[in-house]
Chains A and B, each alone.
Chain A
Amino acid sequence: MKRSSRRVFLATAVTGVVMVAAGAYVARPHLSKRAHPVLNVTSSRGVLQADEMQTVIALGETLAPSKFMLPQDFFREFVDDVTRTRPGLLKEYQGAVQLLDTHAQGFGDATRFHALASSARDEVLRALLWHYDAGNATARKLEGFATSRDVSALRIYVMDPMIEHYYRSPLGWAVVGYKSFPGMPPGNARAYTEPLRKGGAA
């Protein structure tokens, strides 16, 4: 490369980097709001309408592993509780329902998320969100910046708590073979001295 071409290349590269950095800096508050959507704590509390709850339960079924049967009302009771007691969450759940139902319309004839087959529900979520393994803080952060406020809110205020609720419960511990776990003692107090038998003896 000639010296003059090298100079042009360098100048272009530096200008590009500076412009991207400046753009990111200027857009920082906006991006941050998208990644960390603020709850409207003055919005009303209460419970979802029955048809809204259908969508949320369908979402719960998609978030839970398919191998284990979900008890009836497992997610309904949890969602009713949080939307009734925690300011701002009813609005976020309603927003999530709207988002999921809107995106469901791109899949076949369905007009609602809950009407989709489980594989299609999974596809809807995959179209909206990233998927990455635990501890990947970079992916988590970038997802927040790269998606809209509604999608961030779906992840943070709806999906994460529902998933956490599942994995704190006996169902979640059963995934790793535990029938007893913190808060739920085993029948045999000395079970801890032995390796766990396959199938989760204790």
Chain B
Amino acid sequence: MGETQNSKPDVCIIGAGLVGGLMAYELASRGLKVVVLETGSRHPLEQRAAYMQDIVYGRTQAPAWVSDFPERDVYSNAGDVRYYLNVLRAKAVGGSTLHWGAEALRFIESDFKLKQLYRIADDWPITYDDIEGYYVKSERALGVAGVADNPFASWRSADFPLPAFPYSAGDRLFEKACRQLGIDIHHVSWARNSVPYQNRPACVAFATCGTYRICPIAAQYTSEAHLALAEASGNATIIADAQVVRLVTDRNKRVVRAIYMDRDKREAAQQARVFVLAAHAVETPRLLLLSESNQFPQGLANGSGMVGKHFMERPAVGISGTINDDVYPHRIGFHTAESHQFCNPKNRNELGGMKLGFVNNTGPTPASLAATSGNWGDALATEIRRSFGHQLTAVASIEQLPDPTNTVTLDPELRDYFGDPAPRITYSIGAYEKATLAAGAKLCRDVLSAAGAKRIDDTEDHGFAGHPMGTCRMGDDPESSVVDRNLRAHEVPNLFVVGSSVFVTGSSLQPSLTIAALAIRAAEFIAEQGKA
């Protein structure tokens, strides 16, 4: 087993995604020595345009970071609902920011205290007020474009750093329909440059960030931006293709090294003073469970038995209809208007919050119409001209309550490329979520009807937003949580868990900005502790 060159840095971060990038930068810029271990590979920005072309012209289905190592990324499912893990995450330097939607929303105050307000779920040990300042820092770090016109948002102490993207022609159709129904819509805040910011260009509407999940010019934020700054400081080293397989502790119950393997299964070890586990809500609990020992027989930091429990997502239902008007889809990859009017309903103890959004790249493209048509030549062109650009789609994304039976555990049989038990995701949707999805579908149908749509879907089928949360929840009580309010493991003083895995409850709003806020807050805490 080899020891890495950077043999004992201050902090070892496991995972080079949103958390890894921000924390590496925050810590390195304060003079701390940092090593980041990332399971996936680097995909330089110069390759991005070629990746985009390959997807747009149908030569591949997804960028390499989604599909380049299937033997490593095996998993299994149990429970009522199949969870398509590998479609929803990216293992690479940059993590899921390489293919995220980039919607950068703050949670609202009530999201942190569902038990106090509605007698459901649990409260976070921190409040919106505790992290509002970190939301501001996150918006500045990521370069969030927005405008404070959302009447349902919680208070904010600073303006958005970048101006909002104006409404699209298609979203104005929704605006008119929503007005008829008394629904307030407002601009969307995006971690995507509306003007040049932090050496990244403004969005020029490649329109590939939605359907194809790729921005060829990095106008959309990825954590590669902060990883590059961290490396440039001289204080941070990023090691790609390094799958951490165990965390090893000493007799003082401190993590002393992370054991990792490269793609050729060569083993190495990384020491550090502090370890940060930031590997998403599935791999994070998996690594803790894999790191069982005599001291931690249920898995590292799992005396409470809460590691892997309370897996959550943001289920979503999308409803489409067709209208006579032209919608002009596929001209940008993102939507410009949505409504948070239903995110905190008065009867939230019975019905969850839901966010109403509108899709701007909806409906078949000319190629997808052609692919299912039996026509050719002028007849096909006429058919495509007639059919294209008349679909409207509204989406309701809902909150899911934490349920201890929704879990990430180790599969008893399935092994990954490195010979370790694969993650097993046991996942179901409860009555609360089913009722909320039904209400969301009805809301979408009402809006489409008001817009004059015909042939409106009657489906209740739902999907997911791709936002796994929970599994290492934070709390003040070591009996019922994995990490404390500073995200330090209750049982392991030099181990921090950062990311959506520490969320106590989800929200109907996207989790990424809250993840970023927690990351910057944790980095400040670790840096302060280092001084003491």
Contacts and interface: CB of A to CB of B under 8 A. Distances in A.
Contact of B169 (A63, A134, A137, A195): A195
Interface stretch (A48-56, A90-98, A166-174): A166-174
Interface string B184-227: 00000000000000000011111110011000000000000000
B331 A192 contact: yes
Interface stretch (A7-15, A38-46, A109-117, A156-164): A156-164
Interface string A141-169: 00100000000000000011001111111
A106 interface: no
Contact of A182 (B168, B206, B376, B389): B206
B296 interface: no
Interface stretch (B312-320, B379-387, B513-521): B379-387
Nearest to B194: A189
A27 B133 CA distance: 70
Nearest to B360: A192
Contacts of B375: 131-133
A5 B386 CA distance: 53
B443 interface: no
B87 interface: no
Contacts of B211: 182
B380 A196 contact: no
Contact of B381 (A67, A139, A160, A169): A67
A194 B326 CA distance: 11
B41 interface: no
Contacts of B332: 192
B207 A131 contact: no
B377 A192 contact: no
B261 interface: no
Interface in B351-370: 360-361, 364-367, 369-370
B373 A132 contact: yes
Nearest to B203: A189
Contacts of A67: 378, 381
A66 B378 contact: yes
Interface string A104-143: 0000000000000000001001000111111111011001
A183 interface: yes
Given A192-B168, A196-B328, A167 B366 contact: yes
A185 interface: yes
Given A134-B373, A159-B376, A163-B380, A193 B167 contact: yes
Given A67-B378, A182-B212, A183-B207, A163 B370 contact: yes
Contact of B331 (A63, A135, A175, A180): A180
A35 B205 CA distance: 41
Interface stretch (B51-59, B134-142, B485-493): B51-59
A185 B387 CA distance: 23
Interface in B204-259: 204-208, 211-212
A63 B375 CA distance: 9
Given A189-B205, A196-B326, A65 B378 contact: yes
Contact of A181 (B203, B207, B381): B207
B205 A191 contact: yes
B204 A175 contact: no
A169 B369 CA distance: 14
A193 B371 CA distance: 29
Given A67-B378, A176-B389, A181-B207, A134 B328 contact: no
Which of the listed residues A132, A168, A191, A192 has the most CB atoms from chain B within 10 Å of its own CB? A192
B383 A133 contact: yes
B2 interface: no
A169 B378 CA distance: 17
Given A131-B379, A133-B383, A196-B328, A185 B371 contact: no
Task: Name the prevailing secondary structure of the B interface residues.
Answer: loop
A3 interface: no
Contacts of B203: 189
B383 A183 contact: no
Nearest to A160: B371
A87 interface: no
Interface in B404-461: none
A181 B330 contact: yes
A145 B208 CA distance: 37
Which of the listed residues A143, A181, A184, A194 has the most CB atoms from chain B within 10 Å of its own CB? A181
Contact of A134 (B369, B377, B378, B389): B369
B151 interface: no
Given A132-B374, A182-B330, A192 B205 contact: yes
A37 interface: no
Given A180-B205, A182-B206, A172 B373 contact: no
B166 interface: yes
Given A159-B376, A164-B370, A167-B365, A182 B384 contact: no
Contact of B56 (A176, A182, A190): A182
Given A182-B56, A183-B53, A195-B326, A167 B384 contact: yes
B388 interface: yes
A175 B366 contact: yes
A80 to B, nearest CB: 15
B173 to A, nearest CB: 10
Nearest to A194: B169
B372 interface: yes
Which of the listed residues B204, B365, B373, B388 has the most CB atoms from chain A within 10 Å of its own CB? B373
A30 B202 CA distance: 56
A185 B374 contact: no
Contact of A136 (B333, B374, B381): B374
Nearest to A136: B374
B198 to A, nearest CB: 18
7 contacts: A166-B370, A176-B366, A183-B207, A183-B208, A185-B205, A186-B205, A186-B331
5 nearest A-B residue pairs (beta carbon): A65-B381, A183-B56, A132-B374, A134-B373, A167-B367
Interface of B: 52-53, 56-58, 166-169, 202-208, 211-212, 326, 328, 330-333, 360-361, 364-367, 369-381, 383-385, 387-389
